[in-house]
Amino acid sequence: MDLGLKDKVAVIMGGTSGVGLKTAEMFLWEGARVAVCGRNQERMEKAIQHLLKFGTTDSIYAATCDVTNKEDVNNFINGAASRFEGIDILVNAAGQSVMGYFFDVTDEQWEQQIQLKYFAIIYAVKAVHPYLVKRGGGRIININATLAKEPERHMVTTAATRAGLLNLSKTLSQELAYDNILVNSVSLGLIRTDQWERRRMKNAPDMNPEEYYADLAKKRNIPLGRVGEAEEVASVIVFLASSKASYVSGSTIETAGALGKAL
Ligand SMILES: NC(=O)c1ccc[n+]([C@@H]2O[C@H](COP(=O)([O-])OP(=O)(O)OC[C@H]3O[C@@H](n4cnc5c(N)ncnc54)[C@H](OP(=O)(O)O)[C@@H]3O)[C@@H](O)[C@H]2O)c1
């Protein structure tokens, strides 16, 4: 099936690991060009080496950028646009969770999470908007979590900031429709990525990974009976960016193995 992504330019905020990296890989498979960013230089180098298996130096742009820093975001997005002479797609995939109950979380952690899960998206959308308009339209895909609709007490900062982002995504889908920019969310449950690998290494380094994830799926009662894979999220993102999703905007696609119960 032709997804109409050949030569399109996709900018992936947080594309050096996990879901973002897998998405970059899939875009390259489809003949698109990709720009990826992250903060850690070593992770970035590894990501570039990985992506070079699917694309060439001409189709990959990578630069360090902290998405919570407006100047960094502007520099990265302008750099990608000038390298590829435009931008068609923005994927907001940067992030990591802070676990903690309300009284465990410091004000500084709240501010940091609001920056990461909220302002980072505002900065990226503002920076990419003129480029999408110049192309006559485009796509914005925000990665979210089932927690946005179903808060859990031990993940209070993630749940609250994600709910705000879900609301903002809806508004943006309406506001940017006038520029032919389609805005959607992909809502994740538990996906096996470096984020979870770091938790596994911290909490159960000696446990067999397959057993660890099977156990996690059981403890969290995931109806499909397993934790998801980054590739299963990336394919939804790529679909939303494709010509096949030309009338989908303002929607949220849950990619969580039926974990979410909210309507
Ligand atoms: N995996 C899950 O189960 C799950 C569930 C719900 C939601 N999510 C969300 O899905 C998204 C992808 O997560 P993942 O599981 O793929 O995590 P991951 O493997 O840890 O990847 C996160 C990516 O974001 C980058 N990043 C983090 N903070 C950043 C910052 N301030 N500036 C720039 N880049 C930053 C990381 O690079 P650096 O660290 O080098 O900056 C990395 O490239 C996140 O928003 C996460 O919250 C994941």
DSSP class of 62: E
Average pLDDT for 28-57: 98
The answer to whether position 211 is within a domain reads no
pTM of this structure: 0.98
Residue from 26, 65, 67, 96 whose mutation best tests the ligand 1 pocket (most atoms within 8 A of CB): 96
Domain of residue 62 covers: 9-191+230-255
- Confidence class of residue 62 from pLDDT cuts 50, 70 and 90? very high
Total domains present in the chain = 1
148's CB contacts (< 8 A; 6+ apart) are 159, 162, 163, 165, 166, 187
By CB neighbour count within 10 A (0-12 exposed, 13-18 middle, 19+ buried), where does 243 fall? exposed
User: For 164-176, how does the pLDDT look when each residue is reduced to its tens digit (9 = 90+)?
Assistant: 999 999 999 999 9
Residue nearest atom 23 in ligand 1 by C-alpha distance:
14
Average pLDDT for 56-66: 98
Q: Is the CB of 118 under 6 A from ligand 1?
A: no
The answer to whether position 163 is within a domain reads yes
The answer to whether position 216 is within a domain reads no
Residue 22, pLDDT score: 98
Tokens 């030569």 appear where? 7
For residue 243, CA distances in Å to 7, 10, 88, 238, 239 come to: 13, 14, 12, 10, 8
Q: Is the CB of 93 under 6 A from ligand 1?
A: yes
The answer to whether position 202 is within a domain reads no
The answer to whether position 240 is within a domain reads yes
By CB neighbour count within 10 A (0-12 exposed, 13-18 middle, 19+ buried), where does 190 fall? buried
- Confidence class of residue 8 from pLDDT cuts 50, 70 and 90? very high
Q: What is the DSSP string of 103-128?
A: GGS-HHHHHHHHIIIIIHHHHHHHHH
The answer to whether position 180 is within a domain reads yes
CATH assignment at residue 17:
3.40.50.720
Average pLDDT over the chain, rounded to an integer: 97
Please state the atom number of ligand 1 nearest to the C-alpha of residue 44. Answer: 40
- Confidence class of residue 98 from pLDDT cuts 50, 70 and 90? confident
Distance CA 15, CA 254 (A): 20
The answer to whether position 218 is within a domain reads no
Average pLDDT for 190-195: 95
Ligand 1 centroid vs 143 CA: distance in angstroms?
10
**168-174: which pairs have CB atoms within 8 A and are 24 or more residues apart?**
168/118, 168/121, 168/122, 169/142, 169/144, 169/250, 169/252, 170/250, 172/125, 172/140, 173/249, 173/250, 174/250
- Confidence class of residue 85 from pLDDT cuts 50, 70 and 90? very high
The answer to whether position 36 is within a domain reads yes
Helix axes 41-51, 18-29, angle to 10 degrees: 30
Q: Is the CB of 217 under 6 A from ligand 1?
A: no
Ligand 1 centroid vs 116 CA: distance in angstroms?
10
